[in-house]
Amino acid sequence: MDRMAGQISTSRQQLHPAGDPYDSRLLDVGDGHRLYVEQYGNPDGRPVLVLHGGPGGGCSPYMRRFFDPSHYRVILFDQRGCGRSRPAASVEANTTQHLIADICLIRQQLRIETWLLFGGSWGATLSLAYAQAHPDHIAGLVLRGVFLARQSELDWFYGGGAGRFFPDLWAQFLDPIPPAERDDLIAAYHRRLFCDDAGRQARYALPWLMWENALAGLQSTPASHAPTEYARAFARLENHYFSNGCFLAENQLLRDRHKIEHLPAVIVQGRYDMVCPPISAHELADGWDRCELNFVPASGHALSEPRISSELVRVMDMIRDDDRQSGG
């Protein structure tokens, strides 16, 4: 889950200055996929991998601004089918296991031994899955808006739970689907997003995207449009993953938490997150001694909410200062 950042106004002075990547490339990862990868900041700095939301969201320049470019070597990439990666909106050979393998290849290509993970929403899911698969290459995790890819979370968002708080917006999400198919909205949208008519795919992609976008921020204004290709890629990829349980066993990320409990972690969670309710963050942190859970008041889900962005900058600056004090 999680749309591309930038739709909600934020206190820009809290962020680090904007800047351009010093390296960008298309990396061939096999299966016909080429991933857009960029590096930003200090080439000799502490590596941090940014994992975007969705699935399907893609990276944006805004995501660079949580990091002091004099200290961090920031790696961002668009996951398979997303953003500037090609082919766009493709779900072929596109699973969580493929994405984990892609991250391994990026790390090897960039000759990085260990790195921090910085991920929100689906990016938090992928951070946890990758870290549990390869804990020896992880220095720590900074997570935001935790999504554990459980059926209960999908039921909340696509089964009417969140709709109890936003009945008008929920009605708009339901409207394109005949009443007889509304018992499984993920499946109903899947039939339309993966039909043979690209125009029809696009028509159903917009309400899928708008439902999530409308709930992302505590004070967000529901949008009525989005770029067609972005909406299509986002909706198809997200629906593909959710139709398949995100290619994870039920409760896998909690079950396997012991594999990463030796690592430090910080969770930044909006107190009023309607996309990824705070119970998941609480359950993830509970009993993890090296995990710090920070509930952010008067905040929802989006990366770009003022208090969320401010807290994430504070956390990354705190890690920077600790590194400098220890001579790192």
Per annotation, catalytic residue among 68, 78, 102, 273: 273
Its pTM surpasses 0.75: yes
Domain with CATH 3.40.50.1820 in the chain: 12-150+246-325
In the chain, at which residue ranges do the beta strands (DSSP E only) sit?
A: 23-30, 33-41, 46-51, 72-77, 115-120, 138-144, 265-270, 291-296
Alpha carbons 262 and 286: distance in angstroms, whole number: 14
Residue 19 DSSP code:
-
Q: What does the pLDDT read at residue 188?
A: 98
CATH fold of 12-150+246-325 reads Rossmann fold (3.40.50)
Q: What is the C-alpha separation between 301 and 275, in angstroms, rounded? A: 6
320, two tokens? 């920077």
How many other CB atoms are found less than 10 A from the CB of residue 25?
15
Q: Which residues pair with 76 in a beta bridge?
A: 38, 50
For residues 130 and 102, is the Cβ–Cβ distance under 8 A? Answer: no
Torsion sign across C-alpha atoms 81, 84, 86, 89: positive
**Intra-chain end-to-end CA distance of the chain, in Å:** 34
Measured CA to CA, the distance from residue 229 to residue 187 in angstroms comes to 21
Residue 318: both structure tokens together: 């705190």
With tokens 């439902």, the residue in question is: 211
Instruction: Tell me which of 90, 121, 280, 299 is the catalytic residue.
Output: 121
Amino acid 10: pLDDT: 42
Sign of the CA dihedral running 315, 321, 327, 328: positive
> What pLDDT sits at residue 219?
75
Residues in the chain: 328
Number of Cα atoms under 13 Å in the Cβ half of residue 322: 8
For 34, other C-beta atoms within 10 Å of its C-beta total 17
- Of the listed 301, 304, 309, 310, which one is catalytic? 301
Is residue 31 part of the annotated active site? The answer reads no
- pLDDT tens-digit profile of 69-117? 999 999 999 999 999 999 999 999 999 999 999 999 999 999 999 999 9
Q: Pull the structure tokens for residue 239.
A: 């629906």
Residue showing tokens 């991920």: 119
Peptide bond just before 87 cis, omega within 30 deg: yes
Contact residues for 28 (Cβ-Cβ < 8 A; gap 6+): 34
The low-confidence residues of the chain, meaning pLDDT below 50, are: 4-13
Is 286 annotated as catalytic? no
Sign of the four-CA dihedral 48, 270, 219, 170 = positive
Q: Tell me whether residue 273 is one of the annotated catalytic residues.
A: yes
Euclidean distance between CA atoms 254 and 271, whole angstroms: 21
Check residue 12 and give its pLDDT: 41
Written as one string, the DSSP assignment of 216-285 is HSTTPPPPS---HHHHHHHHHHHHHHHHTGGGS-TTHHHHTGGGTTTS-EEEEEETT-SSS-THHHHHHH
In this prediction, residue 327 carries a pLDDT of 80
Query: Could you tell me if 96 and 67 are in contact, meaning their C-beta atoms sit under 8 angstroms apart?
Result: no
Residue type, 191: R
Query: Which residue is associated with the tokens 């921090």?
Result: 116
